[in-house]
C-alpha cells in the first residue's frame, strides 16, 4: 500500500479519505465555471495551475515530482508524464503552471483531474494527492453531423403588414436534433438567393435556456426588409454549442415569399446593352458579346447618385417574359460603390454566373434588373425595373417539342 506523508504535519489542512492530507485541487485555467473547456483550447496543451503550496516543498537534496492524473469517467485512469519540480520551491512560486498534453483531449469526456506529489522518484510510494476538479471535454457538434431539417417561417408570404405587426418574427428551429443542450446557439443566415452562405451569420440566437421543447428564434423584422425588391427570402442555419463546436453542414433551406414595401422609384431604369442591336430588344443567339460569356446591365449616371453611394443591383429570371413564373434559383445581387470620376459616364455590372442565371432562360423567358442606392448604410431610393426577353432557340431549330438552344458552341445544340 502506498503511504501518503508529504505534508501530514499540517493538521489544519483539508483531509482526504482515511484522514490523509488533501492538497488544494488544480485549477484548469481555460475551463468555464461549470468545468467545460471551450473547443478553442483543444488544439494545444491544456494549462493547469497548481494554486497553492503543500506543507513540505522541494529543498536541496529533496526532489519532488508532480504527476497529473487524468481520470476519464467510464475508462481506465491515465497519467501525464511526471514533472520534476524546481528545487528549491517556495510559496512565492505559486500558483505554479503545468500543462496536460494536447493528446489527452482527442475525445469527448468527463474528467476527474487531480495531481500527486511524489518524494524522491516519480513512482515513489511516498506521495500526497490533491483534491479533484471535474472538467468536461466536448468535441461533438450539436446535430450529430446529420442534415438538419429546414427552419419554419411563421407565415408565407411575409407581408409588410405582418412585419409591422411583428417587429420580432418568430422563426421555429426543429428542436429534436441530436445532442441538444442548454447553452446551444442557432446561427441563422438569410439571403435573397438560394445558395449556401459564405459569410458571417445574419443573426446568432441567445444561448438556449432549455434542452427540450419547441425552439424559436426571434428575428428583427428589419432583417426581412434588408432585401428590397426580393420576391423570396431564404434561410439556412447551423448549430453551435457552449464549447464552440459548430455542426459542419448547413441546414436544408427554408423559403418564403416576401412582400415588403419598397422605397419610391426615383432613379432611371438600368439597361441591357446587348439587347439593343435586336429590333425587339431580345437577348438571342446573335447577341454580341454572346450571352454565354456574360450579360451586361448598365447603370447610367444621375445627379442624385453621389460619389461613395452603394449601388445594389438585383437580377431576377422568369420562366415567361416579362414576369411570369419567377424562378427562385435565378436571382443575383451585385454591389458597387459609385466613383464620381470613374463612373462619370455610368457603370456596367456583368452577370458572369451564366450557367446558373442565364442558361435556364431558354424560350420566351424574361430577365428583370433593378437597383437601389444606399448612402451611409441607408437605402435612399431605387430604380424602376427593366425587363428583357430571352430567346435562345436556334433560328434553324426544328419545330417544338424538340427545339435546339444555342449556348457555348454557338448555334447548338447546347452541351
Q: What residues form DSSP beta bridges with 239?
A: 186
308-330: average pLDDT: 96
Grid coordinates representing 228 are 428590397
Q: What is the pLDDT of residue 214?
A: 95
Please state which of the ranges 277-281, 327-331, 409-413 shows the lowest mean pLDDT.
409-413
Helix (H, G, I), strand (E, B) or coil at 198: coil
Angstrom CA distances, 87 to 47, 51, 66, 84, stand at 21, 18, 13, 9
Mean pLDDT of the chain: 92
Question: Exposed/middle/buried for 220, CB within 10 Å: 0-12, 13-18, 19+?
Answer: middle
Q: What is the pLDDT of residue 410?
A: 66
Q: Which fold has domain 17-137?
A: Immunoglobulin-like (2.60.40)
Beta-carbon contacts of residue 310 (< 8 Å; ≥ 6 apart): 335, 336, 337, 338, 373, 374, 375
CATH 2.60.40 domain residues, the chain: 17-137, 158-259, 265-390
Q: Is pTM, for the whole model, over 0.75?
A: yes
d(C-alpha 52, C-alpha 13), whole Å: 12
CA–centroid distance for 392 within its chain: 39
| CATH for 265-390 (1.20.58, 2.40.160, 2.60.40, 2.40.30) | 2.60.40
Look at residue 315 and tell me whether its pLDDT is greater than 50: yes
Residue 273, CB half-sphere, CA atoms under 13 Å: how many? 15
d(C-alpha 365, C-alpha 326), whole Å: 10
pLDDT digits (tens, 9 = 90+) for 23-32: 999 999 999 9
Look at residue 50 and tell me whether its pLDDT is greater than 90: yes
Q: Which fold has domain 158-259?
A: Immunoglobulin-like (2.60.40)
Angstrom CA distances, 344 to 306, 348, 363, stand at 10, 12, 36
pLDDT digits (tens, 9 = 90+) for 133-184: 999 999 999 998 889 999 999 999 999 999 999 999 999 999 999 999 999 9
∠ CA 117-119-120, nearest 5°, is 135
Element (H, E) at 225: helix 221-225
Neighbours of 143 (CB within 10 A): 22
Phi, psi of 273 (to 5 degrees): -55, -35
Q: What is the pLDDT of residue 173?
A: 98
Q: What is the pLDDT of residue 412?
A: 62
93-113: average pLDDT: 97
Task: Report residue 399's pLDDT band, with 50, 70 and 90 as the boundaries.
Answer: confident
Using an 8 Å Cβ cutoff, are 208 and 183 in contact? yes
Using an 8 Å Cβ cutoff, are 117 and 63 in contact? no
Q: For residues 274-303, b (16+ Cβ closer than 10 Å) or e, as one string?
A: bbeeeeeebbbbebeebbbebbbbbbeebe
Phi, psi of 410 (to 5 degrees): 85, -135
Phi, psi of 189 (to 5 degrees): -125, 120
Look at residue 12 and tell me whether its pLDDT is greater than 90: no
Using an 8 Å Cβ cutoff, are 143 and 177 in contact? yes
Amino acid at each position: 500500500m502506498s503511504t501518503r506523508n508529504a505534508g501530514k504535519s499540517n493538521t489544519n489542512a483539508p483531509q482526504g479519505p482515511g484522514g490523509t492530507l488533501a492538497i488544494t485541487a488544480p485549477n484548469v485555467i481555460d475551463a468555464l465555471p461549470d468545468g467545460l473547456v471551450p473547443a478553442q483550447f483543444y488544439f494545444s496543451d491544456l494549462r493547469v495551475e497548481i494554486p497553492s503550496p503543500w506543507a513540505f516543498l522541494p529543498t536541496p537534496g529533496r526532489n519532488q515530482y508532480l504527476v497529473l492524473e487524468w481520470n476519464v469517467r467510464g475508462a481506465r485512469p491515465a497519467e501525464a508524464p511526471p514533472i520534476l519540480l524546481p528545487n528549491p520551491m517556495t510559496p512565492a512560486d505559486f500558483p505554479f503552471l503545468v500543462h496536460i498534453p494536447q493528446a489527452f483531449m482527442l475525445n469527448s469526456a468527463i474528467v476527474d483531474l487531480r495531481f500527486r506529489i511524489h518524494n524522491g522518484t516519480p513512482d515513489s510510494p511516498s506521495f500526497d494527492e490533491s483534491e479533484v476538479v471535474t472538467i468536461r471535454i466536448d468535441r461533438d457538434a450539436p446535430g450529430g453531423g446529420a442534415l438538419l431539417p429546414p427552419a419554419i417561417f411563421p407565415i408565407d408570404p411575409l407581408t409588410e403588414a405582418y412585419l409591422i405587426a411583428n417587429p420580432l418574427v418568430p422563426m421555429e428551429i426543429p428542436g429534436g436534433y441530436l445532442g441538444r443542450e442548454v447553452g446551444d446557439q442557432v446561427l441563422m443566415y438569410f439571403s435573397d438567393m438560394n445558395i449556401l452562405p459564405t459569410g458571417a451569420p445574419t443573426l446568432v440566437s441567445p444561448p438556449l435556456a432549455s434542452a427540450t421543447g419547441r425552439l424559436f428564434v426571434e428575428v428583427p423584422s428589419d432583417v426581412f426588409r434588408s432585401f428590397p425588391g426580393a420576391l423570396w427570402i431564404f434561410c439556412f442555419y447551423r448549430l453551435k454549442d457552449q464549447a464552440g463546436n459548430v455542426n459542419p453542414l448547413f441546414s436544408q433551406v427554408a423559403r418564403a415569399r416576401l412582400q415588403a414595401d419598397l422605397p419610391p422609384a426615383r432613379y432611371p431604369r438600368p439597361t441591357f446593352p446587348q439587347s439593343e442591336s435586336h429590333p425587339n430588344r431580345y437577348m438571342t443567339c446573335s447577341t454580341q458579346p454572346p450571352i454565354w460569356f456574360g450579360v451586361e446591365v448598365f447603370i447610367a449616371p444621375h445627379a442624385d447618385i453621389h460619389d461613395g453611394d452603394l449601388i445594389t443591383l438585383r437580377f431576377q429570371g422568369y420562366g415567361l417574359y416579362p414576369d411570369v413564373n419567377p424562378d427562385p434559383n435565378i436571382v443575383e445581387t451585385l454591389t458597387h460603390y459609385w466613383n464620381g470620376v470613374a463612373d462619370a459616364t455610368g457603370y456596367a455590372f456583368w452577370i458572369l454566373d451564366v450557367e446558373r442565371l442565364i442558361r435556364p432562360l431558354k424560350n420566351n423567358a424574361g430577365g428583370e434588373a433593378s437597383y437601389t442606392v444606399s448612402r451611409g448604410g441607408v437605402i435612399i431610393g431605387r430604380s424602376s425595373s427593366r425587363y428583357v426577353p430571352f430567346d435562345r432557340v436556334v433560328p434553324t431549330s426544328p419545330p417544338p417539342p424538340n427545339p435546339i438552344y444555342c449556348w457555348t458552341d454557338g448555334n447548338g445544340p447546347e452541351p
